[in-house]
Structure 1
Amino acid sequence: MSQITGPAPAPAPAPASASASGAAFPRLGWVDDLVLPALQAAVAALPATERRAAGYHRGWCEADGTPLVAASGRGKTVRPALALLSAVAVGGSPQSALPGAVAVELVHDFTLLHDDVMDGDALRRHRPAVWSAFGTASAVLTGDALLVAAMREVAHSPAEFAAVAVQELVRALLDLVEGQSHDVAFEQTPEVSVARYLAMAEGKTGSLMGCACALGGVLAGADSGRVRGLREFGRRLGVAFQCADDVMGIWGRAARSGKPVGADLAARKKSLPVVAALAGSCSAAERLRSLYRSPHPLDAQEVQLAGELVEKAGGRQAAEEEARRQMSAALRALSHARPTADAYRQLQEIASMMIRRDS
Structure 2
Amino acid sequence: MTDLDVTTAHRSARDVLSWSRAGVDPALRTAVDRLPDSMRAIAGYHFGWWDEHGHPTGADPGKAIRPAFALLAAQAVGGAAATALPAAVAVELVHNFSLLHDDVMDGDSTRRHRPTAWSVYGVNAAILAGDALLTLALDVLAGSGHPAAARAIRVLSDATQRLNDGQAADLAFEERADVPVGECVRMAENKTAALIGAACAVGALFGDGRGDQVERLRSFGELVGLAFQFTDDLLGIWGDPEVTGKPVFSDLHNRKKSLPVVAALASRTPAARELDALYHTDAPLTADELARAAELIEASGARAWSLEQADDLVTRARVHLRAAAADDRAERELDALACLATRRDH
1:11–1:261 Cα change, 3 Å = farther
What does the per-residue CA deviation read over 1:171-204, in whole Å, with 9 as the maximum and x for residues that have no partner? 1111111111111111112122221111111100
Give the deviation of 1:8 after TM superposition.
2.3
- After superposition, the CA RMSD in angstroms is 1.7
Partner residue of 1:62 out of 51, 65, 69 = 51
Whole-angstrom distance in 2 between the partners of 1:312 and 1:73 = 35
Q: Give the stretch that moved more between structures: 84-93 or 156-165.
A: 156-165
Distance in 2 (alpha carbons) for counterparts of 1:120 and 1:254: 17
In the TM superposition, 1:165-314 aligns within 5 A as 165-314=152-301
Q: Distance in 2 between matches of 1:73 and 1:260?
A: 17
Tell me the residue number matched to 2:74: 87
Residue 178 to residue 11, structure 1, CA distance change in 2 (3 Å):
farther
CA 206–121 in structure 1, closer or farther in 2 if over 3 Å, else same: same
> Which residue matches 2:2?
7
Larger mean CA deviation between 73-82 and 320-329 belongs to: 73-82
Does residue 43 (structure 1) correspond to residue 24 (structure 2)? The answer is no
Give the structure 2 partner of residue 3 of structure 1.
none
C-alpha change, 1:255 and 1:72, in structure 2 (3 Å) is closer
What SS is found at the alignment partner of 1:9?
helix
Give, as a single letter, the amino acid of the residue that structure 1 aligns with 2:109: A
How far apart, CA to CA, are the structure 1 residues paired with 2:136 and 2:215? 25
Q: Which amino acid aligns with 1:93?
A: A
* Whole-angstrom distance in 1 between the partners of 2:16 and 2:89: 19
User: Which of the residues 319, 333, 358 maps onto 2:320?
Assistant: 333
**Paired amino acid for 1:83:** A
Alpha-carbon distance, 1:15 to partner: 4.4
DSSP-derived class of the 1:327 partner: helix
Per-residue deviation, 1:258:
0.8
- Seen in structure 2, the aligned counterparts of structure 1 residues 295 and 14 have a Cα distance that, compared at 3 Å, is farther
Counterpart of 1:10, as a letter, is D
Whether 1:323 aligns to 2:318 is no
- Could you tell me which amino acid in structure 2 is paired with residue 33 of structure 1? A
In structure 2, the residue matched to 1:146 is 133
CA deviation map 1:100-120 (0-9, x unaligned): 100000111111100000000
Percent identity reads 46
Contact (CA 8 Å) 1:88, 1:343: kept in 2 or not? yes
Shift of 1:156: 1.5
Distance 1:275 1:74, change over 3 A: closer
Contact 2:16/2:68 (8 A) holds in 1:
no
2:285 aligns to what SS in structure 1? coil
Contact 1:14–1:346 (CA under 8 A) maintained in structure 2: no
One-letter amino acid matched to 2:79 = G
Aligned equivalents of 1:283, 1:72: Cα separation in 2: 44
Aligned length: 346
Check conservation: 2:16, 2:333, Cα contact below 8 A.
no
Q: How does 1:84-123 map to 2 (within 5 A)?
A: 84-123=71-110
Distance 1:195 1:352 in 2: 24
List alignment gaps of at least 5 residues for structure 1.
Answer: 1-5, 18-23
In the other structure, the counterpart of 2:118 is 131
Deviation of 1:264 after TM superposition, in Å, equals 1.2
How far off is 1:30 after superposition?
1.8
1:243 deviates by 0.2
Separation in 2, partners of 1:276, 1:123: 27
Contact 1:13 1:342 in 2 (8 A): no
- 4+ residue stretches of structure 1 with deviation over 3 A? 13-17, 24-27, 72-75
Structure 2 unaligned blocks of 5 or more: none
- Name the CA distance, whole Å, in 1 between partners of 2:317 and 2:281: 39
**Which range moves more in the overlay, 105-114 or 297-306?**
297-306
